[in-house]
Each structure stands twice: as C-alpha cells, then as structure tokens.
Structure 1
Amino acid sequence: MSYIAPKDFAIRMVDAGQSKALMSTRDTLIRSYMAGAILALAAAFAVTITVQTGNALVGAMLFPVGFCMLYLMGFDLLTGVFTLVPLAWIDRRPGVTFPALLRNWGLVFVGNFAGALTTALLVAIYLTYGFSTPPNEVGEAIGHIGEGRTLGYAEHGAAGMLTLFVRGVLCNWMVSTGVVGAMMSDSLPGKVIAMWMPIMLFFYMGFEHSVVNMFLFPIGIMLGGDFTIGDYLVWNELPTVVGNLVGGLTFVGGVIYVTHARTAPSRAKTLA
C-alpha cells in the first residue's frame, strides 16, 4: 500500500482547504448533507450493535464504516472543514478570505444538520413503526444517551461544561486525524486503515462529535428522551462545536502545517 510522506500530505491538506472554501454553495450543501446523513446512519448502526451484543467495543469497531464511506465519496463534515479550511486561509491561498472561511463553516453546519435530522426522522420511523408503537430497546438506549449527555453535564455546572468542551477537543483530535489519514495513501486499503483507527478510538471513548450529536439528540427527543432542545443546544451542541474547532485546528491542522508545510531550518544548516 502506498504511503505519502508528511511534507507531501501537508500540502494536500492546504489544497483541500482551498478547494472546499471556493466550492459552490450548491455542492457544499449537497456534500455536507450527505455526510451528515451517512454518519448519522453509522451512529444508529453502532448503537444497535452495542445494545444487541452488550459490547460497546464491537459497536465502536464497526462505526468507522460510515466515516470511511462518506470521505471516500468526497463528502464533508464540519469537523473536517474546521481543520482544513483555516490552513488555506493561514497560507494566504487566493480567494480564501476570512468571510469565505466562515461561509464554508456555516454551509457545512447547515448541510450536516439537515442530513443528520433526515436520518433521525427515518430511523425514528423505523424503530417505532411510524410512531405507532413505543421505541424498542435500541430506541430507548438512544433516548437515554441524550439525557445523560445533556442533563448529565448540567448537573455538574461549570465542571460539566468544561468536561463537555474537553471531550469535544479530544474528539476532533482523533476525527481530524482520520480526515488527514485519507491523504496519507493513494490506495483504497491504505486510506481505509488510516481513517479507521482514530475514528474507532473516538467513538469507544465517548468523546463528543458535533455531527453525530446532530443525529443522537434530535432522535432522542423524537423517541421520548427526557430533555429539551434548549438542553441539547446549551449543554451539548454549541460547546461541542467549539471544542471540535479547537481540537481539530490545534492538535491536527495547526501542528502538521507548522512542522511539515512550514518546517524550520534544520540545525545542520545552522551549524554550517
């Protein structure tokens, strides 16, 4: 399997950021919509496996199938553009202005949310026979996830908010590593392996992913979860978005850009 050196995939990251910032509104929305929908279905798949097997590790091991599918098809997640698009702006690529960066983030957020919400509605219908029966054990588990990861944080006040933010940071550290992993190889198996490992880690560790949560919490409300839309926004989605931004840009995009795209002169040259 081919392997791309860090100095080369660092340039690919900047190129990708520029391409996404300059993409048309139509294509940005379509690609982000599909990314949100596919990742949401993968989350439903992983929760189903976890409930039916009683083993969270099995669910985490299989969840990355959705992430790999959406990136191989060229779709975009908010967590990915948080990492890639700022690099093109920092690199002063033509056309990549700060308003263009914010435009891309806003469009991808809207597309991801719409896609995840569509899947949430479809899965809720599937789990309840069109809302004609109570949710099955998988539906009940999804509802409780929403309660624990909103009201559960709220019970701890500021400490809960800090924990939520940190879980968002840790999440996109791993997810953006998966995004970059797709650029580390030109072969299909190489791309999948590099993406699979960090995504499995984030899901099993219970970190907070803003797009996955766009599915889990709306469907939790649909299935009778005991929390409100306000609880979801204040005690999960918004702090998670900020944490995802900090984690992806700081621990992945920024680090790789600084040390591989803008490498400092070696000590050998300095000594000479």
Structure 2
Amino acid sequence: MAYLAPTEFVTKMIDAGESKIFMSTRDTLIRAFMAGAILALAAAFAVTINVQTGQPLAGAVLFPVGFCLLYLMGFDLLTGVFTLAPLALIDKRPGVTIGGVLRNWGLVFLGNFAGALTVAVMMAITFTFAFTTEPNAVGKAIGHIGEGRTVGYAAHGAGGMLTLFVRGVLCNWMVSTGVVAAMMSTSLSGKVIGMWMPIMLFFYMGFEHSVVNMFLFPSGLMLEGNFSIGDYLLWNEIPTVLGNLVGGLAFVGLTLYSTHVRTGAKRKAEAAKPTLVAAE
C-alpha cells in the first residue's frame, strides 16, 4: 500500500479541486448525479441492515461500500467539492475564480439531489409495491428517521439548530478526511482502507451528511413520515449544508493546505561558532 507524503497528497487535493472547477457542465452533472444515486443506495442498504439485524454498527460497518465505489469511479459529492475546490482558488491557480467555485458547488448540489431523489422514488416503490400498500419495516424506519432528524431538532429550538449544524461540521470533517485518505495511497486496497474508517465513523455516530439526507428525507415524505418539506429544508438540509461546508473546508482543506503547502517560517539555526578559549 504505497503511501504518499503529505506534501504530495495535498498537491493532489489542489489539482483535483482545479480540475473540478474547469469541468464541463455536462460532466459535472453526470458525475454528481451518479454520486448521489450510489450514496443513496448505500444509505438504503445500511438502513435495511439496521432493521433486519437490530445492530446499527453492522449498517455503519457496511455503509462505506457506497462511498468507496463512487469515489473510485470518479464521481463527485457536494461534501468533497466543498473541501477541494476552494483550495485551487486559495492557491491562485490560473483562471480559478470565486464564481467558478460557486458554479461547481451549485452544479454538484443539483446533480447529487437529482440522483438521490431518483433512488428515493425507486426505493419507495419497492417498499410499498408501487404505493399500493403501507411501507414495509424498512420504509417505516426511514420515515421515522425523517421525523426524528427534523421536528426532533425543532423541538429543541436554537439548541437543536446548533446541534444540527455541529453534526454537519463533524460529518464532513470525517467524510473529507475519507476523500483525502484515498489520495494518500496509490493502491486500490490502500485507498479503500483509508476511506472506510472515517466514513464508518460518521455514519455510526449519526452525523448529518447533506447528500445522504437528500435521500432519507424525500424518502421519508413518501413513506408516511410526519414532517413537511419546510421542516426538511429548514431543520435539516440547509443547516447541514452549511455545517458540511465549514467542517470540510476548515478542519480538512485549510488545515492541510496551511501546514503542508504554505508552511510556517522555518526556524533558522544560529550560525554559532565554537568559542575558542585561549590557553594562558
């Protein structure tokens, strides 16, 4: 599992951010759509495991399979571009602008949402026999997740909103660490192991991931969840997106960049000459 030094993989992070900013609209949307869809399938897979085994750890251990697959196929999540794209701007890469960064974020958001929503509809159909019966056990569990993580936060007012935001920060701290960990290795096994650990952690801890939620909450609305679209946007998606932005950029992108690319001034050794003591 060949390992790259921090200065090498942080340079790869900047290069990746630059390439995403200059990617065509078509390619950006396709890659974002597929990333949202695959991550949604992984979320449905994990909830199914939790319901059938009664062991949340089992779902968390296996959920990263979706993240690993979408990353290895070169697809893009909003959480990843939150961390990578700004680095090309901060590094003053030619032609990179704030507008280019925002364009990339906007397109990836739309693509992720479309992909996650597509899978949400398809899974709702499978959970209800095309909406002809009540949701099965997994469908009901998804509906309850939507309630707990919208109106559940709202019940705590400002404290709930702060908790939601902080869980979004913690989530992308881990998810972006997974993105970076994949760049630390040049082997397939090294990349997968590097990604698996932080993604498992975020899922088991119940942190808030904006793209996973693009699947869970629309699904919940279709599966008899007792909350509204307004609840979803105000008491989950918007604060989660903001938390994900802060977590990925502040705790992963900027910290690595500031210490491995723009390093602090090195301490200069004093050119102290040995003192010669004249013999008397």
State the TM-score, normalizing by the size of structure 1: 0.99
1:262 Cα deviation (Å)? Answer: 1.3
Structure 1 residue aligned with 2:71: 71
Structure 1 residue aligned with 2:95: 95
Equivalents in 2 of 1:270, 1:236: separation in Å?
53
What letter matches 2:168 in structure 1? Answer: G
- 3-state DSSP class of the match of 2:207? coil
- 3-state DSSP class of the match of 2:183? coil
Equivalents in 1 of 2:269, 2:235: separation in Å?
51
Structure 1 residue aligned with 2:197: 197
> Does structure 1 residue 23 correspond to structure 2 residue 23?
yes
> Does structure 1 residue 134 correspond to structure 2 residue 95?
no
1:271 Cα deviation (Å)? Answer: 4.1
What letter matches 2:190 in structure 1? Answer: G
Equivalents in 2 of 1:180, 1:61: separation in Å?
20
Equivalents in 1 of 2:266, 2:103: separation in Å?
38
- 3-state DSSP class of the match of 2:15? helix
1:178 Cα deviation (Å)? Answer: 0.3
Equivalents in 2 of 1:180, 1:270: separation in Å?
34
Partner deviation per Cα, 1:16-46 (whole Å, 9 max, x = no partner): 0000000000000000000000000000000
Structure 1: gaps spanning 5 or more residues: none
Structure 1 residue aligned with 2:276: none
Partner deviation per Cα, 1:221-243 (whole Å, 9 max, x = no partner): 00010000000000000000000
Equivalents in 2 of 1:94, 1:104: separation in Å?
16
Partner deviation per Cα, 1:26-79 (whole Å, 9 max, x = no partner): 000000000000000000000000110000000000000000000000000000
1:95 Cα deviation (Å)? Answer: 1.6
Please show how residues 3-152 of structure 1 align to structure 2 within 5 Å.
3-152=3-152
Q: Which entry has the higher C-alpha Rg, 1 or 2?
A: 2
Equivalents in 2 of 1:271, 1:129: separation in Å?
77
1:164 Cα deviation (Å)? Answer: 0.2
Structure 1 residue aligned with 2:176: 176
Partner deviation per Cα, 1:91-111 (whole Å, 9 max, x = no partner): 011121000000000000000
Please show how residues 202-221 of structure 1 align to structure 2 within 5 Å.
202-221=202-221
What letter matches 1:264 in structure 2? Answer: G
**Count of residues paired in the alignment:** 271
Structure 2 residue aligned with 1:230: 230
Equivalents in 1 of 2:245, 2:162: separation in Å?
15
Structure 2 residue aligned with 1:265: 265
1:253 Cα deviation (Å)? Answer: 0.3
Aligned Cα root-mean-square deviation (Å)? 0.7
> Does structure 1 residue 161 correspond to structure 2 residue 161?
yes
What letter matches 1:51 in structure 2? Answer: V
Equivalents in 2 of 1:246, 1:65: separation in Å?
25
1:265 Cα deviation (Å)? Answer: 3.0
1:270 Cα deviation (Å)? Answer: 5.1
Equivalents in 1 of 2:257, 2:139: separation in Å?
42
What letter matches 1:107 in structure 2? Answer: L
- C-alpha spacing 1:264/1:148, structure 2 compared with 1 (3 Å): same
What letter matches 2:99 in structure 1? Answer: P
Give the % identical residues: 76
Equivalents in 2 of 1:226, 1:109: separation in Å?
26
Partner deviation per Cα, 1:143-162 (whole Å, 9 max, x = no partner): 00000000000000000000
- C-alpha spacing 1:143/1:266, structure 2 compared with 1 (3 Å): same
Structure 1 residue aligned with 2:186: 186
What letter matches 1:6 in structure 2? Answer: P
